Amino acid sequence: MLPLIYNIPAPMIETYKGRNLIVRTDDLSELNKSFTPEDLKNIVYIQLLTLKDTELLKSQVYGTPLDLVVSDPVRDLPRLYTYTQWAKTYPVRISVPVIPGFIKIVKLAAALNFAVNLIPGQPGPQRIEEMMQVLNFYLRQSTVSQPVEFFHTMLFAIFNDEPLNMWTVCEENPLQYRYITDQGQETISARFTGIKLPEDLNAFKDTFIKRLRDEAPECNNCEFLANCDAYFKWPNREFRCDGVRMLFKMLQETAAELKRDYVASADAMEKRSL
């Protein structure tokens, strides 16, 4: 089993010293008070919850991978430019919920050479249509050089027939990730905040999926269950996954296309070597 990664608020850095951490904050300057250089060795990335103009390069955490969490696409769009200097040397990712305006954020992030992490939630028909546009942009736009998640990892999992599911890709697999609320309570991820879960968080996902398969024929009959693993059935178990299946179908077709191209290329190389 892999060591757990804890997503913690910055003031709790001392409590979780020595663990693998994602440290979240509204203000990078706050970390100058909390961190020592030794602490940085265990930081997977820093999650900045509020985007604003700031003298980033004076922060002692400059050089640590950065995850910028978008809460308002319209307000935060121009603020992405603030972080371009950081991204010239160190990884920067934009985490954006699938809400109105998220497409513009994705396209600007790609233009600035930032990775993108979509927070899908339970998308309705309009958001699914926009996600299809983003997926097509990621797959077909030659200038996109950084991954757009969850599409990127899931595409290559399907291509390689790897047993990888959305809980892991979205950093919500309880066997790998834990989220510590501002009040110090341990849960699975931000979308589980305030919800009472069983004490054994390791067993939550398997128990949840088993219950769903007993109750929800949509999951039992879904060809993408191994990829989704009922991820989109939380929190509303009545959520219909027709649109989600369209996304996975497009990923599946693209993976098949890549395999055909790979085989054709290999055959051509073999013939040239004869």
Q: Which residue has the higher pLDDT, 135 or 259?
A: 135
Split at pLDDT 50, 70, 90, the class of 52 is: confident
Percent of the chain with pLDDT over 70: 90
Nearest to 210 by CA among 249, 242, 237, 181: 237
Find out whether 107 and 221 touch, Cβ atoms under 8 Å: no
CA atoms within 13 A on the CB side of 126: 5
What's the confidence (pLDDT) of residue 144? 92
What's the confidence (pLDDT) of residue 163? 86
Find out whether 224 and 250 touch, Cβ atoms under 8 Å: no
In a domain, 271, yes or no: no
In the predicted model, is pLDDT for residue 63 greater than 80? no
Rounded Cα–Cα distance for residues 159 and 140 (Å): 17
In the predicted model, is pLDDT for residue 108 greater than 90? yes
Q: List the beta strands (DSSP E) in 76-184.
A: 92-97, 115-119, 148-149, 177-180
Q: What is the pLDDT of residues 143-155, one digit of tens each?
A: 899 999 999 999 9
Percent of the chain with pLDDT over 90: 65
Rounded Cα–Cα distance for residues 22 and 35 (Å): 13
31: CATH: 3.20.20.70
Q: What is the pLDDT of residues 220-274, one digit of tens each?
A: 889 999 999 999 999 999 999 999 999 999 999 999 999 887 666 655 555 666 5
What's the confidence (pLDDT) of residue 56? 60
Return all residues near 205 (Cβ < 8 A) that are at least 6 apart: 167, 173, 174, 175, 229
Helical segments of 13-87, H only: 28-34, 73-76, 84-87
Query: 70-79, 202-211, 255-264: which range is least confident on average?
Result: 255-264
Helix/strand/coil for 67: strand
pTM over 0.85: yes
Rounded Cα–Cα distance for residues 7 and 45 (Å): 10
In a domain, 196, yes or no: yes
In a domain, 51, yes or no: yes
CA atoms within 13 A on the CB side of 226: 8
In the predicted model, is pLDDT for residue 119 greater than 90? yes
Query: 161-170, 180-189, 265-274: which range is least confident on average?
Result: 265-274
In a domain, 69, yes or no: yes
For residue 73, the enclosing domain spans 5-257
In the predicted model, is pLDDT for residue 78 greater than 60? yes
- What is the torsional sign of CA 176, 233, 166, 104? negative
In the predicted model, is pLDDT for residue 125 greater than 90? yes
Q: What is the pLDDT of residues 5-46, one digit of tens each?
A: 999 999 998 899 889 999 999 988 777 666 777 777 889 999
Between CA 117 and CA 124, with CA 121 as vertex, the angle to 5 degrees is 115
In a domain, 273, yes or no: no
In the predicted model, is pLDDT for residue 219 greater than 70? yes
What's the confidence (pLDDT) of residue 262? 64
Q: Identity (one letter) of the amino acid at 273?
A: S
What's the confidence (pLDDT) of residue 268? 59
In a domain, 274, yes or no: no
Split at pLDDT 50, 70, 90, the class of 121 is: very high
Mean pLDDT of the chain, nearest integer? 89
Return all residues near 111 (Cβ < 8 A) that are at least 6 apart: 143
Instruction: Provide the token pair at 99.
Output: 């809400």
Number of domains in the chain: 1
In a domain, 156, yes or no: yes
- What is the torsional sign of CA 25, 30, 31, 36? negative
In a domain, 268, yes or no: no
Q: Identity (one letter) of the amino acid at 99?
A: I
